[in-house]
Chain A
Amino acid sequence: GESVGLHLPTLSVQEGDNSIINCAYSNSASDYFIWYKQESGKGPQFIIDIRSNMDKRQGQRVTVLLNKTVKHLSLQIAATQPGDSAVYFCAENMNAGGTSYGKLTFGQGTILTVHP
């Protein structure tokens, strides 16, 4: 796969542990946040999203927390499995007058490695 992991933050966990991946976003006008997972050699895959009027949203084994005061987003993965090993990106959508056309600004990414 492509070497997209150079100089990215990394997180190593043991199988079964919980993982927390953090993201600082830049624009206080962003109204929508998305987490993506990218496995080696593949395109990003949607995990979970959250609107700016929420502070927590849960999915299957994943939880996203949003702290607008400090412009911080986190992704929690419960009972992490080797198949969760990937690069994780946060993305924000700024609704500029309702016409952002779904444009996303992506963070740099975090490499998650899960050891059996």
Chain B
Amino acid sequence: NAGVTQTPKFRVLKTGQSMTLLCAQDMNHEYMYWYRQDPGMGLRLIHYSVGEGTTAKGEVPDGYNVSRLKKQNFLLGLESAAPSQTSVYFCASSYLAGRPEQFFGPGTRLTVL
């Protein structure tokens, strides 16, 4: 099993450009999450999904949209990138809410100029 994979690994955008980050998991997990990690601030939840076709806002959702059309995939979109969105983005998945251990992908480093 590959676990949780993310594409791309690195990306540089100009202000105002759009892009989509792809997260895929092969563990048949119901729940998926998108986090951003900034220096000295730990991980902050952007959006999450409790199942195919469902999404919900996390702690810092502004400027991002998500979709979960297939159970194994969770997409994070930036419609109009801003320098404040420069960060490392991590996707995670988990199986049961009763045991909230999350499995993380390797991350995507995004720079917005």
> Which of A14-22, A58-66, A75-83, A103-111 lies at the interface?
A103-111
| Interface-centre pick from A43, A49, A89, A100 (highest chain B CB count, 10 A) | A43
Asked if B42 and A106 make an inter-chain contact with CB atoms under 8 angstroms apart, the answer reads yes
- Give the complex CA separation of A80 and B100 in angstroms: 27
Asked if B101 and A34 make an inter-chain contact with CB atoms under 8 angstroms apart, the answer reads yes
> Which B residues are CB-close (under 8 A) to A34?
100-102
B89 CB to closest chain A CB (Å) equals: 10
Assuming the A-B contacts A93-B100, A101-B31, A103-B58, are A2 and B88 also in contact, with contact meaning beta carbons closer than 8 angstroms in the complex? yes
Interface size grouping (class) on chain B = 20 to 34
> Which A residues are CB-close (under 8 A) to B50?
101
Asked if B101 and A100 make an inter-chain contact with CB atoms under 8 angstroms apart, the answer reads no
Asked if A7 and B43 make an inter-chain contact with CB atoms under 8 angstroms apart, the answer reads no
> Which A residues are CB-close (under 8 A) to B31?
101-102
- Give the complex CA separation of A107 and B40 in angstroms: 10
With CB as the reference atom, state the residue of chain B lying closest to A94.
Answer: B100
Interface majority SS (helix, strand, loop, mixed), chain A: loop
Asked if B88 and A100 make an inter-chain contact with CB atoms under 8 angstroms apart, the answer reads no
Assuming the A-B contacts A43-B90, A44-B43, are A104 and B106 also in contact, with contact meaning beta carbons closer than 8 angstroms in the complex? no
Number of interface residues of A (CB under 8 A): 29
With CB as the reference atom, state the residue of chain A lying closest to B3.
Answer: A43
Asked whether any CB of chain A lies closer than 8 Å to the CB of B97, the reply is: yes
Asked if B42 and A102 make an inter-chain contact with CB atoms under 8 angstroms apart, the answer reads no
Asked if A107 and B42 make an inter-chain contact with CB atoms under 8 angstroms apart, the answer reads yes
Asked if A7 and B97 make an inter-chain contact with CB atoms under 8 angstroms apart, the answer reads no
Asked whether any CB of chain B lies closer than 8 Å to the CB of A27, the reply is: no
Asked whether any CB of chain B lies closer than 8 Å to the CB of A45, the reply is: yes
Option from B41, B102, B109 in Cβ contact (under 8 Å) with A108? B41
Asked if B101 and A2 make an inter-chain contact with CB atoms under 8 angstroms apart, the answer reads no
> Which B residues are CB-close (under 8 A) to A104?
45, 100, 102
B28 CB to closest chain A CB (Å) equals: 15
7 contacts between A and B (CB under 8 A): A2-B37, A45-B104, A99-B97, A101-B31, A103-B48, A104-B100, A108-B40
| Interface-centre pick from B48, B88, B101, B106 (highest chain A CB count, 10 A) | B101
Asked whether any CB of chain A lies closer than 8 Å to the CB of B69, the reply is: no
